[in-house]
Amino acid sequence: MIVTLTSRLGLPGARAGPTLRRKARGNMKQGWWSLLLLLALLPASAAVGENIARIDRIQPLALEQQAGQRAGLFSERRFEGDDDGVRVIGNGQWRVQPRPGVAEPLLVVYHPYTARVTVLDSPDGVPRTQDVFRHDLDPQYTRRALVFPLAGDGPVYVRVEGARYPLHVTVESRPRYAAADLRHLRLVMPAIGAVLGVSLAVLLFWAMLRERVYLLYAGAMLFQLLYALCSYGEAYAWPGLDALARFGAQGIWASGTLATILLVYLWQDYASLRRVAPRLSLLMRVVGVYGCTATLVLLVLPWPADKAWFPDVANAVFLLTNAIALVTLVVAWMRGQKHAAYVLIAWVPMLVFTMWRALRFSGGERAEPWLEYGLPWVLALTAVVLALGLADRMLTFRRERDSAKQHAERDGLTGVLNRGGIEHRLDWALIERERERIPASLLFIDLDHFKQINDRHGHALGDACLRAVTRAVSEQFQYGDQLGRLGGEEFVLVLSGVELAAAVRIAEQVAARIRRDCARVEGVAVGLTASIGAAQARDGDSVASLIARADQAMYVAKRAGGDRVVAEDAPCHEAGKAKAPEGASVD
């Protein structure tokens, strides 16, 4: 049986502080408690009686050994009937004696996987052969088991071929088995639907965002689901997927191998393992991708013709990949890689359940309800936890993007918006004006005699003057997100929702504030003042045209002697009247 639980690596990286570690550990605890709660809700149905009096081997032991019976993960074993033990049969021919008194008896062979079973229940009857790949199985039963109606209580002759591990066989009454089979469907199908729904939703995200990690997630989860459905045999009863039956066991192996390859790539993108642990990431690709790809190529090639070697080789590759991934993810999590914790929460339960289930089946034992039905629900938990991790990953990238954008839009000297940032804000103000008919005005602020300050006191003091101006305007009027520096000593102030007359009054307050707070900068008397031009947006205005009109008004104020406010289209002889008075209020 192929164990396809592959995962991800991660390793070197910056050490996280205790807060991040506590948060990650808290997330892992919540994941484990959620899993335990889910399993506690699964019904613990009573064990079904096996109703078998005796199982005898018909085929000689030497012939059974020649049949190539293999079991477990790697070992080759013989299976012998036991009157008092678990009812187990392997490759070969067997005589099964049911206990009398079972109403409408059925011979049930659980989890046949790749086995082909032939049953003859009466000397004059016709042998019936079944395997999970056949299209003519009774549709009223699921394919978790091969079901053979029996004619009576007489001995049943069974031939088994192609079994990879021991088969558990029971005789059950038809009504009881039908009820158990229906309960099986009710427990398994919601989990399958959850995995399918989440995977398709993430696939839609990829179609819109075109980010590879979403495609890898959807592909890995869908192939994991396909592998589980093929292993249960249910895939061969679904329209469309029934075409996989022609590939037999090789189709199951191929789907598991492809799921592993996709999971390796998913972990590496999901937890940024190429950056966090480049060497271990490379090792995981070599083992989990290149190794799996090599075995897959040998599987589909016509040579060698005998593919019996594949499960054992593939299991070795998968288990080695899992070991590397588990160690690396733990180390990455301890070093602060938050998304490695999501992978551990999602993947470790899946690994435990799959390994334990494989070991139970390799011994010919039926899985307890929590183990049989826990596996599909753990797969659903894996899909949901990883989807939550993708959402968290998206939020993290979004914050980083917003932070980078904010830094790109800010002036490094003063901390206010730079030319690109303020023009973007002004563009939004113009769009809002057109859509909501909200007025918008612009103040163009130019510091008077700034060149002389630089020449006389040096550029360091000039820079201090620029910071003092932005501080005075931002602190007093709280227009930090609307104030921007175009370059040099030129600033603009975007006033959304303000008409021209109100903009002029605000400009006079700004001029008075600059005159008062920037008279001395770092103990040096500089007597800093500003010339301000005001303009209001009109229909058809662009960012450039509005700035140009406010700039023109500012130049009128400059030519009138500076330290004053001029509104657009104001006559030159009135410019002197717009000078902010010495006692103007700045409140």
Secondary structure in 3-state letters for 286-350: HHHHHHHHHHHHHHHCCCCCCCCCHHHHHHHHHHHHHHHHHHHHHHHHHCCCHHHHHHHHHHHHH
pLDDT in tens, 305-361: 888 888 888 888 988 998 999 888 888 888 888 899 999 999 989 888 888 877 776
Looking at residue 408, what is its pLDDT?
A: 78
Highest mean pLDDT out of 14-23, 168-177, 429-438: 168-177
Looking at residue 366, what is its pLDDT?
A: 64
In the chain, % of residues over pLDDT 90 = 54
Among 279, 280, 221, which residue's Cα sits nearest to residue 255? Answer: 221
- The structure tokens listed for 563 are 């330290």
Please give the Cα distance from 225 to 227 (Å, whole number): 5
Domains of the chain in start order, with CATH, are: 18-45+188-405 (1.20.1070), 52-177 (2.60.40), 410-578 (3.30.70.270)
C-alpha pair distances (Å), 445 with each of 508, 514, 525: 11, 11, 21
User: At 95, is the pLDDT very low, low, confident or very high (cuts 50, 70, 90)?
Assistant: very high
- Residue with the larger pLDDT of the pair 530 and 363: 530
CB atoms within 10 A of CB 42: 16
Strands of 111-199 (E only): list them.
116-120, 128-130, 145-149, 156-161, 167-173
End-to-end CA distance of the chain: 80
Average pLDDT score, the chain = 82
pLDDT in tens, 59-80: 554 444 444 444 433 333 333 4
User: At 304, is the pLDDT very low, low, confident or very high (cuts 50, 70, 90)?
Assistant: confident
pTM: 0.67
Cis peptide before 304 (omega within 30 of 0): yes
For the chain, helix, strand, coil in percent to 5 are: 55, 15, 30
Residue 479 pLDDT greater than 80, yes or no: no
User: At 382, is the pLDDT very low, low, confident or very high (cuts 50, 70, 90)?
Assistant: very high
Looking at residue 358, what is its pLDDT?
A: 74
- The structure tokens listed for 282 are 């490379």
Highest mean pLDDT out of 34-43, 83-92, 403-412, 439-448: 439-448
